[in-house]
Amino acid sequence: MSGFLTAFVLSFVLAFLFGYLCGSIPFGLILTKLAGTQDLRSIGSGNIGATNVLRTGNKGLAAATLLGDMLKGTIAVIVAGHFGGPNAAIAAGVGAFIGHLFPVWLKFKGGKGVATYIGVLLGLFWPAALAFCAIWIAVALIFRYSSLAALVASVVVPVMLFWAQHTALAAVFALMTAALWIMHRANIQRLMNGTEGKIGSK
């Protein structure tokens, strides 16, 4: 029994670390540097995510950043799930999300996690990922605030997972949603003050 428990814990830890390293890849920073733009952290909000990359005026780079930040979460989940099963997939997903928030390569100063959150969700339960994107698009079109769209959509995810009887996933994404809101605390303050930058603004 102790051998089984040791193997289970080791599998969980390895999956988490694999996910963390995947999540730590700062696609926004890498792609903008390759494109020859100024340091992404000195533009707009200083964030390394796709919304801030869009402020460089390069929509292609922003789309590539969004895709990269999503897929690193999805790939971490799929690979870990293939070798370690469902629990390892969840561990890798959480690791990827945390890796994006606190990347080891950038002194643990990363992004706010929205794209990676979606990517992890896509790998674990894709219908909820589609629901997130649909809600994000609707809110963004109406209010033109990327942060507000992400915050609203993230609240729906744990509810949808619980309704779909994925209780464990619902609990995991409730915690990830809480982390997402904490990372957006400055955005929330600006939304309340009416000073948050709208989509397309520089």
What is the reported pTM? 0.93
Q: Is the pLDDT of residue 17 over 60?
A: yes
pLDDT score, position 114: 96
- Residue 4 banded pLDDT, cuts 50, 70, 90: low
pLDDT band at 36 (very low <50, low <70, confident <90, very high): confident
Are 30 and 116 within 8 A, CB to CB?
no
Lowest mean pLDDT among 43-47, 152-156, 186-190: 43-47
- Local structure of residue 57 (DSSP, 8 states): T
DSSP secondary structure code for residue 99 in this structure? H
Q: Say if residue 21's pLDDT is above 70.
A: yes
| pLDDT over 60 at 128, yes or no | yes
Q: Which of 1-5, 16-20, 105-109, 164-168 has the lowest mean pLDDT?
A: 1-5
Q: How far apart are the first and last CA of the chain?
A: 58
Of residues 202 and 66, more confidence is placed in 66
Q: In whole angstroms, give the CA distance from residue 75 to residue 123.
A: 7
pLDDT of residue 47: 83
Query: Among 126, 128, 150, which Cα is nearest to 139's?
Result: 150
pLDDT-derived band at 179, boundaries 50, 70, 90: very high
**Domain locations in the chain as residue ranges:** 1-193
Share of the chain above pLDDT 70, in %: 97
> Tell me, what's the pLDDT at 65?
95
Residue 2: the pLDDT is: 67
52 pLDDT tier (thresholds 50, 70, 90): confident
In the predicted model, what is the mean pLDDT of the chain? Answer: 92
Long-range Cβ contact pairs of 183-190 (< 8 A, separation 24 or more): 183/101, 183/112, 183/113, 184/112, 184/147, 184/150, 184/151, 187/112, 187/147, 187/148, 187/151, 188/147, 188/151
